Amino acid sequence: MKYIHSTINPQVKQWKKLLTRKERDKTKTFLIEGFHLVEEALKNNADIETIIISEKVELPSSFNYGSTPVVMVTEEIARSLADTETTQGIYAVCAQQPIPSSNGKTFLLIDSVQDPGNIGTMIRTADAAGIDAVIVGKGSVDIYNPKVLRAAQGSHFHLPVISADLHNWLDSLLDRGISVYGTALENAISYHEVEQEESFALIVGNEGSGVNPELLDKTKKNLYIPIYGKSESLNVAVAAGILLYYLKSTN
């Protein structure tokens, strides 16, 4: 097992750069933190380049990293890589997922949502609902942002999650005859009025400005969720969960 003790080691500097979107985009890799995410990556045969472990960490007997390269570092280095206040001292550098084809039957498309907690929660919810892929459009927070990764709780390793042009994906889905539903308050119907289908795509958008009108113009129908109390709106991640489970429920 390799041991690094210097904070100015070139490898350590490179790992730190992965806390920025620019470097993640450049190298097509990302950094995950914590036992749960590393174990999920291992269990799901993710493309892991390196596992990084603090010298203060005792690995549980159940932790099986197989032939994956492991590097031990000082506690100081481990803390410098952390995006959390109290790090568990374990990380992994993973390769980003390749962009898949539009094969599949159910999709969640996310337009211009910038809150990392909401993005991560929607990825996790889509995973739980059995959705085939999550497509995150331009204007949204990076899908490999550390806060997104934590909120998704390992779902990045369970289903395709990609950043892509929503217009291109929407056109491809429509060409395949898949029903695409938008979310809107105007020119929309209650989601209860929709009949479930085997294949569908749902587009959700920014809580302030909503889904891009150019995308909404292409949808089969646009849906809204009735508000029975005094709240003006639902959180986008909550709304996505309600709609995904409703659309998926009888498939």
Please list, in sequence order, all residues whose beta carbon lies within 8 angstroms of the beta carbon of residue 141, skipping any fewer than 6 positions away.
113, 114, 115, 116, 119, 148
- The radius of gyration of the chain from alpha carbons, rounded to an integer in Å, stands at 20
Q: How far apart are the first and last CA of the chain?
A: 49
70-96 pLDDT, tens digit per residue, is 999 999 999 999 998 889 999 999 999
- Residue 212 falls within a domain, yes or no? yes
Contact in structure between 199 and 106 (CB atoms under 8 Å): yes
- DSSP characters for 119-152? HHHHHHHHHHTT-SEEEE-TTSPPTT-HHHHHHH
Q: Measured between alpha carbons, how far is 70 from 2 in angstroms, rounded to an integer?
A: 7
* Number of structural domains the chain divides into: 2
221/200 same-domain check: yes
**Percent share of the chain, pLDDT over 90:** 87
**Percent share of the chain, pLDDT over 70:** 98
Q: How confident is the model at residue 209 (pLDDT cuts 50, 70, 90)?
A: confident
52-64 pLDDT, tens digit per residue, is 999 999 988 888 8
- Strand locations in the chain, DSSP E? 2-4, 29-33, 48-54, 70-73, 90-95, 106-111, 133-136, 161-163, 179-183, 189-190, 200-205, 221-224
- Residue 101 falls within a domain, yes or no? no
CATH code at position 45: 3.30.1330.30
142/220 same-domain check: yes
Predicted local confidence at residue 67, as pLDDT:
93
21/46 same-domain check: yes
Q: How confident is the model at residue 249 (pLDDT cuts 50, 70, 90)?
A: low
Q: How confident is the model at residue 1 (pLDDT cuts 50, 70, 90)?
A: confident
174-204 pLDDT, tens digit per residue, is 999 999 999 998 999 999 999 888 999 999 9
Q: Is the pLDDT of residue 251 over 50?
A: no
Structural domain for 147, as ranges: 106-248
Question: Considering 52, 72, 95, which residue would you say is the last residue of a domain?
Answer: 95
Contact in structure between 107 and 201 (CB atoms under 8 Å): yes
Take residue 8 and report the two structure tokens written for it: 């100015």
83/206 same-domain check: no
Phi first, then psi: give them for residue 94, nearest 5 degrees. Answer: -120, 150
pTM of the model: 0.95
Averaged pLDDT for residues 138-153: 97
Question: Considering 74, 95, 116, which residue would you say is the last residue of a domain?
Answer: 95
Predicted local confidence at residue 99, as pLDDT:
79
Take residue 59 and report the two structure tokens written for it: 């690995």
